[in-house]
Structure 1
Amino acid sequence: MAGAPWSAGTSPCDGDTSTWAGVLCSKGNVLGLQLEKMGLSGKLDLAPLKSLTGLRTLSFMDNEFAGAMPDVKDLGGLRAIFLSGNKLSGEIPADAFAGMGWLKKVYLSRNSFTGAIPTSLAAVPRLLDLQLNDNKFTGKIPDFPQKDLKMLDVSNNELEGEIPASLKSIEPQMFEGNKKLCGAPVEAKCEPPTTAVSPPTTSPTTTSGKVGTSPSPPAATADATTTTTGTVPAEEGTQGATKPTKGSTSFGVLAAFLGTLAIIGFAVVALQRRREYNTQNFGPTASTKPSLPSAPQSPAKAAHVAAATVTGGRSSSVSGSTAARSSKAGEQGRLTFVRDDRGRFFELQDLLKATAEVLGGGASLGVCYRATLTGGHSVVVKRFKEMNRVGKEDFEEHMRRLGRLSHPNLLPLVSYYYRKEEKLLIHDYVPNKSLAHLLHGEGRAIKKAVVHWTTRLKLVKGVARALQYLYDELPMLTVPHGHLKSSNILLNDRFEPLLTDYSLVPVMNQSHSAQLMVAFKSPERKQFGRSSKKSDVWCLGILILEILTGRPPSYEAAKQSSDQPPSPPQSENDLAGLVASTPEGEWLEKVVDADLKKEDEEGKEEMVKLIKIGMACCEAAVDSRWELKTAVERIEELKGKEDANDEYSYYSSIDGDDFANVAIN
């Protein structure tokens, strides 16, 4: 192996050349560790490596390491983890890989791992190669939705149940040695379920503290109650890291790591951070009776009660045959799917038996749950009670209209459920967070991501295109979106925007809409009591300023019209007022997010142009406010760096925060 032994007083890297054995270097930064077939033993503690922001790959293959799975999720910049051929054992926590948004290769084969395959692997957006063969994993294979997943090897384990449809293209030999697996691509046929009775609440899926059994918990947006933290990686090779010299941080970190291994003989057990999450069966439990709670309900209990409400207030599960004999139960128990490109891959009873997690609440339009179905696929169920202004026929017609919408920057509606008292809207679960979380983090103690100009411009362009699409497809609506804000913009696996909670004004109660929907905070609504075709444009303007300033907006303060002298902002979050009261020549210094001040001059010129577009969209006077078409055309003219299509240009390090799970609020 190239390189000299690790020794004090020397640097591990000299440009692209490694001076220490097993260290991979790039431009003076430590890129990876490759300590293979060296007879190393003991337990792995990776905590000393957390300061290496440029670390991209770790390989300890074919050694004698024992003990639990090391805590890798704090090394959020990793692209590859190779731990095959050791003596690692025990259950892997379900959230072991949460927040690892850049991870592509995971090799855990030829160990002695037990328990369920950690479901957080299914939420790793860039996963290409997963090797779990020759272990003792049990339970079902999670649904892996990653389109780029090329290799998955789970052979020679103790897995059971139906292989998810998302893995039907995987070679059959990748599933060999699991006698109880069935379905495509193996030849064994799956036995049909014998009963539709919900599992008891004491099943493993309801105990969030047990490792390997509950789904990887999503981090919530600014309106939600739980978070998952990790690290967003630096740009490949160099971004976020400084060039080490003698006595540098890289040397100190690696020396500490080596010292840990040598002095205590790998005796430090990897830290396994656990959090409690609100998880419970989405449906009512068998043989229980409803009772009024004597104390405020927990979010998990709320999910339980919500599901009981969907079934008409009944507290016990009903078998499929019994439900079929009741026409009323049959009417209440059927979902309506609205997309031609999607089949009926679950029913209401599947939701009632699913594990549920409360994702958001507060000032959102409805209570939101993540339901993890039996096969591992997750959907988001949003429960509305403020949709009683329209009858069933009009409601269903509008849902069919939404089901026909198709745009790369819209989160599509999958299905819905109608009852007079409440409605459910069901979408796919998106394993990333919202734009609000990206821009603002989650609380004062947690730093936000560093988002570059080119990425912010791409986000603005994606939102503008989706909004224009809604205007084109739904010209009959005065306000085609109605609730455009950063917490309602999710990010897909390429960190492109997905608009949610759109086009619901026609089916919402007016009083509820006026209280919560941001389009109803527009100046014309406040002045004249009615919205206009430009209300969404006002929301777009506020969003543009939020993206550029990095500050959360206040929708209670509106900018004065251009014929009035600018006044000081009414609050620090009155973004339009802040810009209006600041001379244009000082925008880059006093208005623009500090993270953007290091951009080149060309980028700064484009930022000023976008601020002007945002202000033109925020005009309090409707007649002076730009038309959406004009705003979109001007936004499309703006330019970012040509090389920004590379995935590593999206984010630099954010010092310990993850960005891989999304919660809808």
Structure 2
Amino acid sequence: MTAAQAHLSLCHLLHMILLISSIFHRVNSLENDTLLELKDSLTNGEKLTTWNPSTTPCNGNVPNWEGVLCMNDTVWGIRLEGKDLGGNIDTKIIMNLPSLITISFQNNSLEGEFPVFKRVRRLRSIFLTANKFSREIPMDAFDGMRRLKKLYLANNGFEGRIPSSLTTLPKLRDLLLENNRFEGEIPTFVRDNLTIVNFANNRLRGPIPKRLQNFSKSKFSGNSELCGSPFGECKVEIPTATIIMIALVVVAALAAITVAFIILQLFRPSSTNALQVPPYKKGASTDHDQMEQGCGKAAMVTVNKVDLSVKLTFLKDDTESFDLADLLKASAVVLGGGVFGSSYKTTLSRHKVLVVKRYNQMNNVTQDEFYKHMKKLGKLQHANLVPLIAFYYRKEEKLFLAGYVKNISLAVHLHGSRSEVNRRLDWPTRLKIVKGIARGLLHLYNELPSLITPHGHLKSSNVLLNQEFESLLTDYGLVPITNQEHARDVMIAFKSPEFKNHGRITKKTDVWSLGVLILEIMTGRFPANTFHYSKGGDLELTNFLDSVMKEDVTVDMFDKEIGGFDKNNEGEMLKLLNIGLSCCEPNVDKRWDIKEVVDRIEEVKENSDNDNDNDDD
């Protein structure tokens, strides 16, 4: 290269640097001007005193202006909550913030027309709870917002029908619409991504869509004309009343003749228990698998007197009450027997089906301690937890009553035969299941901060799946009320490295259990100790972890039943597998805490190019 050519190349390089610097400066200047324009458009915007043209909104990842979220000198979010701001959000202004993906104006006094957020299609989160909006939202208000995940509109005065454009959004996960004046029917959502919803205290009517019927009754309360599960059946014309009457007579006869004995069995001391439960194939007890195979087989039952003066204690205010006498009249089938006791599916009516679980390893707990702990568990309410409805206390044994989940457990889906499950679990379904488990576990950590292990017995047979394959955790929060000798023998938390090596459990022990579960989900391998226990059981679980953790992390480790994975999702699947391995870190100090684990799981996508969609699609 000649000196002249070198000089030209250097000049060209300097020119490019100056050009890039100029563009970067113009982008920052545009953000400054845009935010200042937004400030001027809001009533009481002058209270945002740090929004000053003499400074920039961001300094790297650190905001200079209050309520601004920054990354790499760029504004990616606005969070102005409880600032007494009025007026409305002019979306023509915020369109000029190219990296904006979240916006929150909760607890202000915004009013008027619903902002035209579809102009800003890249938004992922919109939080407008507790403002003064009072008009109808256009049906097409969310057209094209393919990335929207969270929409919080509660505690306003919105009127009219729920916008139909919400029903087709591919990533919508949270939808809070309570305490408004929405009317008409709840629309049917095309996807089954919703994990947090609330439609309470509106003017809604008609049937609750099937995909939403697994949410609790409280999420729909205050709408007197809604019907369908979890409320009463919608009124329909029945042309053949005679057939219905015959069916009712048959059901009543079967309940009176064959089923009362099984419920009576629940109240008999465990030392005289003669109920024989067929074992789960592969030699593992089902615990809470909710498998109904073999339920019609004969069971030898010895019946003792039941003390009907002892009442059920209900944990939910919105639960329709019933008593022991109602249980005795109900039909029931044996679901299975596990390390704590037996489980029964009990049908009180066509619209009320419960699971009754019998525990006989809690007799070292005083009645006062037991009641206090159960009240804590009864307050838990989350889309990924099986809610406890009521309990029965007797020193020798306890009964827990919970909602019945129609689908069977994750364990059966992973390890059962094709006759036991309708379909195999593909990658999107497994990712959905893991995220549901993680969200449910995080909720336990947040709501039960005094517990060292908020779950304590996390395993695939204690993860139930509803018809939309959403995860529901069960058998949580039992460590404080379980006889400690029994807990050490059977509960998963006590199989952790920290307990084996140091005789203690920690706040990260449930994270270790989550890691084991993720590895089981992704590899399809069967960690035998999560189902039955013995001295050999500990060895089996250790061998399971060693066999996974010593291998090279490649696609060869994945369960072949996942099927259909390719280069688009291979990276995300490996990412989740590595998260599971990190959760199983033997050194507690190096193991992630629950918040970091959940954050990393939430970042995993179905496809590695999910966020590369064209905003104009």
Which TM-score band applies after superposition, normalised by the shorter structure? 0.5 to 0.7
Asked if 1 retains the 8 angstrom alpha-carbon contact of 2:291 and 2:408, the reply is no
Say if 2:289 and 2:461, in contact at 8 Å, map to a contact too.
Answer: no
The size of the alignment, in residue pairs, is 365
- Conserved in 2, the CA contact under 8 Å of 1:434 and 1:489? yes
Q: 1:621 aligns with which of 571, 583, 587?
A: 587
Q: Map residues 1-80 of structure 1 onto 2, 5 A cutoff.
A: none
TM-score norm. by structure 2 comes to 0.52
Choose the corresponding residue for 1:496, options 470, 487, 493.
Answer: 470
RCO comparison, higher one (Cα < 8 Å, 6+): 1
Quick one: which amino acid aligns to residue 301 of structure 1? Answer: M
Q: SS at the partner of 1:501?
A: coil
How far apart are the structure 1 equivalents of 2:288 and 2:380? 32
CA distances 1:141-182 after superposition (whole Å, capped 9, x unpaired):
xxx9984699xxxxxxxxxxxx9997845335336755997x
Q: CA deviation at 1:393?
A: 1.5
Deviation at 1:354, TM superposition (A): 1.9
1:178-200: CA deviation from partner (whole Å, max 9, x where unpaired): 5997xxxxxxxxxxxxxxxx989
1:373 and 2:348 correspond: yes
Aligned to 1:575: 544
Q: In the superposition, relative to structure 1, how do residues 148 and 467 fare at CA in structure 2: closer, same or farther (>3 Å)?
A: closer
Partner of residue 537, structure 1: 511
The one-letter amino acid paired with 2:375 is: R
Aligned partner letter, 2:312: L
Q: Contact 1:435–1:489 (CA<8 Å) still a contact in 2?
A: yes
* DSSP-derived class of the 2:343 partner: strand
Query: One-letter code of the match for 2:603?
Result: E
- SS in structure 2 of the partner of residue 438 of structure 1: helix
CA contact (8 A) 1:546 1:575 kept: no
* Residues 588 and 597, structure 1, Cα contact 8 Å, conserved in 2: no
The residue identity in structure 2 corresponding to 1:477 is L
1:121-151 CA-partner distances (Å, limit 9, x unpaired)? xxxxx9xxxxxxxxxxxxxxxxx9984699x
- Could you tell me whether the CA contact under 8 Å between 1:199 and 1:353 is conserved in 2? no
d(CA) in 2 for partners of 1:354, 1:504: 27
**Residue of structure 2 aligned with 1:401, choices 360, 373, 376:** 376
Query: Within 2, Cα distance between the matches of 1:497 and 1:387?
Result: 27
Once the two structures are TM-superposed, the CA of residue 643 in structure 1 deviates from its matched residue by 12
Shift of the 500–204 alpha-carbon distance from structure 1 to 2, 3 Å rule, reads: closer
Distance of 1:393 and 1:365 partners within structure 2: 21
Q: Which amino acid counterpart does residue 599 of structure 1 have in structure 2?
A: F
Deviation at 1:527, TM superposition (A): 1.2
Which whole-Å CA distance do the structure 1 matches of 2:318 and 2:571 have between them? 43
TM-aligned CA deviation for residue 353 of structure 1: 1.9
1:588 aligned onto 2:606? no
TM-score normalized by the length of structure 1: 0.49
2:572 is aligned with what amino acid?
Answer: E
Residue 515 of structure 1 deviates from its aligned partner by 1.0
Of the three residues 318, 323, 336, the one matched with 2:313 is 336
Q: Tell me how far 1:580 sits from its aligned partner.
A: 2.3
- Residue 44 of structure 2 corresponds to which residue in structure 1? none
- What CA distance in whole angstroms lies between the structure 1 residues aligned with 2:244 and 2:541? 60
2:393 corresponds to 1:418: yes
User: How much has 1:594 moved relative to structure 2?
Assistant: 1.4
**Equivalence map 1:219-258=2 (5 Å):** 223-224=285-286
Say if 1:490 and 1:500, in contact at 8 Å, map to a contact too.
yes
Distance 1:206 1:641, change over 3 A: farther
**1:3 alignment partner in structure 2:** none
Match for residue 283 of structure 1?
none
Q: Which of the two has greater helix per residue?
A: 2
Q: In 2, Cα distance between the equivalents of 1:531 and 1:552?
A: 24
> Where does 1:310-321 land on structure 2 (aligned, <5 Å)?
311-312=306-307
- Corresponding residue SS for 1:595: coil
Which stretch of structure 1 is more off in the superposition, 165-174 or 398-407? 165-174
The match for 1:278 is 296
Work out whether 1:356 is the aligned partner of 2:356.
no
**Displacement after TM superposition at 1:450 (Å):** 2.6
Q: Give the conservation status (yes or no) of the 8 Å contact 1:219–1:226.
A: no
Q: Please point out which of 469, 475, 479 is paired with 2:453.
A: 479
Deviations 1:612-658 (A, max 9, x none): 111111011111211111111111110015999xxxxxxxxxxxxxx
Amino acid at match of 1:531: I
Query: How much has 1:583 moved relative to structure 2?
Result: 2.1
For the structure 1 residues 494 and 573, does the alpha-carbon distance in structure 2 shift closer, same or farther, using more than 3 Å as the test? farther
SS at the partner of 2:377? helix
RMSD, aligned α-carbons: 4.3
Q: CA deviation at 1:373?
A: 2.1
1:177/1:543 Cα in 2 relative to 1: closer, same or farther (>3 Å)?
closer
The 8 Å contact of residues 354 and 372 in structure 1, kept in 2 or not, is answered as: yes
- SS of 2:596's equivalent in the other structure is helix
Say whether residues 1:528 and 2:497 are aligned partners. no
Equivalent-residue separation in structure 1 for 2:287 and 2:369 (angstroms): 35
Deviation at 1:604, TM superposition (A): 1.0
Query: Structure 2: which amino acid aligns with 1:381?
Result: V
- The AA in structure 2 aligned to 1:420 is K
What CA distance in whole angstroms lies between the structure 2 residues aligned with 1:422 and 1:513? 16
**d(CA) in 1 for partners of 2:291, 2:601:** 33
In 2, Cα distance between equivalents of 1:175 and 1:406: 40
Residue deviations 1:236-293 (CA, integer Å, cap 9, x gap): xxxxxxxxxxxxxxxxxxxxxxxxxxxxxxxxxxxxxxx86337xxxxxxxxxxxxxx
Identity, % of aligned pairs? 43
